[in-house]
Amino acid sequence: MADANGPQPGQVNALDRTWFVGCGNMAGAMVEGWRAAGLDLSTAVAIRPSGRPVEGLRVVTSFADAGPPPKLVILGFKPQQLDQIAPKLAPWVTSRTTVVSILAGVEAASIRARFPNARAVLRAAPNLPVSVRRGVIALYSEDSHDQVLEPLSNAFSALGLVLWTNGEANLAAIGSVAGAGPAYVARFIAALAKAGVKRGLPDDLARTIALETVLGTGWMGATTRESTDEIVGRVASPNGTTEAGLAVLDPELDALVARTIEAASRRGAELAAQARGTNLAEETPLA
């Protein structure tokens, strides 16, 4: 795992003069994680037409109010808003600006086409646990500005496991598993809790048991490095209660999860195709 111990003395502040263009769930989670890691966000600003506050950031409602041109822009709005927002943002993106896109499915070339003057373009596919510095972040760039990308890589490492990919197909693959994964895991936790309620447990207790079971199992696997099969083998004794449950779960689970991930991947491909050739402007507010 990449170093996640926060900023070190003498390091370049990769987040100096950062514009968060849109600061919804994912960008907001990144802000939470960076604040928890102690990174310097004193010169960062969130641009939100709604004016809704973001803890730790100055919030403005327009690009004109954001101050000098940014050194770093993080695109944190909906992918469908790209062609609505990019023309207004592009004049502020200079040869000293790095653009980081967390727009699902939108390829680096599509971002570069909207911001031709950018010093570098970076795609990031983080997941929601970056808010507690336990995220998975896939990164990809077609640029080779080490003096730009290395400080950014260090900043992202404060949020969790950083994985540089050698192609956008790999970034999409990681995103379809890790990016969407917290939602699927949350659904499993909810289902496990509901099963507990059906067995007579109070709602709050069933939810706590389900959460702690998933957390404990994940933590055990991460720390012991046991394979999932080894963990199953330690729990399931021959002809026992766990094995009886696995006889129901196993025939359906792999295929169900595969179909789930495939649906997410397919939607990502659709968004990429739209960004390459279709105007995606929507009359929806910037997050």
57-68: pLDDT as tens digits: 999 999 999 999
pLDDT at 92 over 90: yes
84/82 Cα distance (integer angstroms): 5
pLDDT at 47 over 50: yes
272/243 Cα distance (integer angstroms): 43
Q: pLDDT tens for residues 217-234?
A: 999 999 999 999 999 999
286/153 Cα distance (integer angstroms): 27
108/101 Cα distance (integer angstroms): 8
Tokens coding 202: 């109070």
Query: How far out from the chain centre does Cα 82 lie?
Result: 18
Q: What is the pLDDT of residue 4?
A: 40
Using alpha carbons, select from 114, 151, 105 the residue that is nearest to residue 268. 105
Domain boundaries, the chain: 18-170, 181-272
Model confidence band, residue 283 (pLDDT cutoffs 50, 70, 90)? very low
232/99 Cα distance (integer angstroms): 44
Q: What is the pLDDT of residue 149?
A: 87
Helix axis angle for 228-235 and 203-224, nearest 10°, is 130
CATH tag, 181-272: 1.10.3730.10
CATH tag, 18-170: 3.40.50.720
59/56 Cα distance (integer angstroms): 9
pLDDT at 264 over 80: yes
| Residue 91: count of CB within 10 angstroms of its CB | 10
Element at 21 (helix H, strand E): strand 18-21
Work out the average pLDDT over 17-45.
96
The set of long-range contacts for 272-279, using a CB threshold of 8 Å and a minimum separation of 24, is 272/105, 272/106, 272/107, 272/110, 274/79, 274/80, 275/79, 275/82, 275/103, 275/105, 275/106, 275/107, 275/110, 276/107, 276/109, 276/110, 279/83
